[in-house]
């Protein structure tokens, strides 16, 4: 979900813009970047506004790995250069530690054709909660090390309270097929 898409939800009165200063929302030139710093409930409000919901963990994992069951959306071998992701120790020379436009890294396409950024840019909330603690999947532009464990379709996940906001956490929506 891009900043421009989220802004349309705010303008329609269905979403809140209660965000903090490290976020893409409100920064000039960031309309095509992923919406970040959104609490779980804010992500769900946006998804409902567009006729969807936050993806379940099995849906997210299936979309990431595709029909082939790949370890990463773009293939079975991890590539630090494929997506907008870096770790504290695993860095890409010359790459800034920040978000990039949604779908802007052509090599970060996959599990499903036309699906981008499942393994980088921002980690994404999933509908996998126990009480007020929910998971997020994928890796953000900055990830825990070892990066390949967090950026994979079969790897570990992170999580936090539903009220958590972070520059490295965003979301995507799913819809039921008719």
- What pLDDT is attached to residue 83? 95
Contact 172, 124 (CB under 8 A): yes
pTM of the predicted model as reported, rounded to 2 decimal places? 0.93
pLDDT tens for 70-85 read 999 999 999 999 999 9
Residues 6 or more apart in contact with residue 126 via CB below 8 angstroms: 54, 55, 56, 57, 59, 60, 134, 135, 136, 137, 157
Least confident of 18-27, 45-54, 59-68, 106-115: 18-27
Contact 32, 2 (CB under 8 A): yes
pLDDT tens for 6-31 read 999 999 999 988 766 679 998 999 99
pLDDT tens for 84-136 read 999 888 788 888 899 999 999 999 998 888 999 999 999 999 999 999 999 99
The neighbour count for residue 83, using CB atoms within 10 Å, is 29
Mean pLDDT of 30-41: 96
Choose among 149, 92, 91: nearest CA to 123.
149
């Amino acid at each position: 979900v891009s900043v421009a898409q989220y802004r349309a939800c705010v303008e329609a009165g269905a979403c809140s813009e209660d965000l903090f200063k490290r976020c893409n929302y409100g920064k000039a030139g960031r309309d095509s970047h992923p919406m970040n710093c959104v609490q779980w409930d804010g992500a769900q409000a946006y998804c409902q506004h567009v006729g969807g919901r936050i993806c379940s963990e099995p849906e997210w994992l299936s979309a990431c790995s595709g029909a082939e069951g790949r370890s990463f959306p773009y293939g079975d071998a991890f590539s630090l250069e494929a997506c907008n992701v870096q770790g504290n120790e695993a860095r890409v020379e010359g790459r800034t530690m920040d978000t990039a436009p949604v779908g802007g890294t052509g090599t970060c396409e996959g599990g499903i054709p036309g699906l981008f950024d499942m393994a980088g840019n921002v980690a994404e909330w999933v509908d996998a909660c126990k009480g007020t603690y929910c998971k997020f999947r994928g890796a953000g532009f900055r990830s825990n090390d070892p990066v390949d464990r967090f950026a994979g379709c079969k790897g570990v996940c992170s999580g936090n309270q539903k009220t958590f906001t972070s520059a490295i956490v965003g979301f995507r929506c799913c819809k039921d097929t008719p």
